[in-house]
Structure 1
Amino acid sequence: MTDTVKAPSTVWRNPWHFVAFGFGSGTLPKAPGTWGSLVALPFIPLWQMLPDWGYWLMLGVTMLFGCWLCGKVATDLKVHDHEGIVWDEMVGMWITLWLVPEGWVWLLLGFLVFRVMDIAKPWPIRWIDRHVHGGFGIMLDDVLAGVFAWLAMQLIVWAVL
């Protein structure tokens, strides 16, 4: 469950907070998760230049880093899963678009599919969001939303190509 709290000024002074808040995108007053997901998009063409295993490795590293980062920033702020912490949405977007063809149409479609999964939180994502805490919990619901969105994207790719 997300707590609604004003973005702290530490986002602009603490590099860990800045990264966790999606390079500042999580400070926007409306729909910070959507803004964080958008900030993730420019990275996709870079990740797509990696070999498939390199992209997969990057996902593993950013997920593990995210567990630590999100947990640290949540502890610093004394707020579990502050809505401005959007690193988890960024990683969810990167998962969604792994092995998806290049191009702006695929980026846009992936963005929409991920946002639907992240907002709708189909089972077991909603349960995890409410019951798993700490950095792992903050990351896990968005990682699973990314996996669900990835599966949907793979079906779309298979149907179209």
Structure 2
Amino acid sequence: MQNLFLTLFFSGKSPKAPGTIGSIVALILGIPFVLYSSETIILLAILIGIIAIKQIDIYEAKYQIHDPKEIVIDELVGMWLAMGIGACIGGFDIQVAILSFIFFRIFDITKPSIIGKIDKKVKGGLGVVADDALAGIFAGFSTLIVLKILDFFL
């Protein structure tokens, strides 16, 4: 059960780009929640993030490895935060989905600024989840900014 949760239904076991595959699965799984309300998906992301921190700590202690590629539950946390924040003003649509995904992957892969510092310095489950959560927050606000710019010019 722990493996199912941490690998996000085994999407993290993908031989190529497990983080991207996990993010796509998270996007698909999050659509019903974000359509219900942006607040709901944000609260669910926080709840799952808290559970994930504890489960990752247990996993890392058992296997003596930090942030293995197959653990992608942190991608769900980041994606759901990005989707929820991106949908806060105008609701959720295909633009929000695409922009949230693109920005989240950019911030998660490049780890600019404080995201990279958290990734390098914070150990355990908190470090694994926190950098993706912050990447999701940055992605959500980036999505909002781009949508506002597009609204202004279109």
Under TM normalisation by the shorter chain, which class is it?
0.7 to 0.9
Contact 2:46 2:77 in 1 (8 A): no
The one of 110, 127, 135 equivalent to 1:145 is 135
1:77-116 C-alpha deviation (Å, 9 max, x unpaired): 2211101100001110001111423223321221111100
Contact 1:95 1:147 in 2 (8 A): yes
Instruction: Give the C-alpha shift of residue 49 in structure 1.
Output: 3.3
The one of 49, 64, 85 equivalent to 2:71 is 85
Instruction: Give the C-alpha shift of residue 53 in structure 1.
Output: 3.4
Q: Does 1:106 align with 2:96?
A: yes
Instruction: Give the C-alpha shift of residue 74 in structure 1.
Output: 2.2
Aligned residue for 1:136?
126
Q: Does 1:68 align with 2:58?
A: no
What is the one-letter code of the residue matched to 2:113? W
Specify which structure has the higher proportion of helix.
Answer: 2
The one of 19, 24, 30 equivalent to 2:5 is 19
Structure 2: distance between partners of 1:145 and 1:78 = 26
Aligned residue for 1:7?
none
Q: Does 1:36 align with 2:26?
A: no
The one of 133, 145, 150 equivalent to 1:155 is 145
Q: How many residues align?
A: 147
Structure 1: distance between partners of 2:58 and 2:122 = 16
Aligned residue for 1:95?
81
| Distance change >3 Å, CA 52–CA 114, structure 1 → 2 | closer
What is the one-letter code of the residue matched to 1:118? D
Structure 2: distance between partners of 1:27 and 1:140 = 21
What is the one-letter code of the residue matched to 1:44? G
Structure 2: distance between partners of 1:28 and 1:54 = 29
Structural mapping, 1:38-53, within 5 Å: 38-53=24-39
What is the one-letter code of the residue matched to 1:80? H
What is the one-letter code of the residue matched to 1:92? G
What is the one-letter code of the residue matched to 1:147? I
Unaligned runs of 5+ in 1: 1-14
Unaligned runs of 5+ in 2: none
Structure 2: distance between partners of 1:37 and 1:56 = 16
- For normalisation by structure 2, the TM-score amounts to 0.87
Aligned residue for 1:5?
none
Residue aligned with 2:69, SS? coil
| Distance change >3 Å, CA 53–CA 113, structure 1 → 2 | closer
What is the one-letter code of the residue matched to 1:136? L
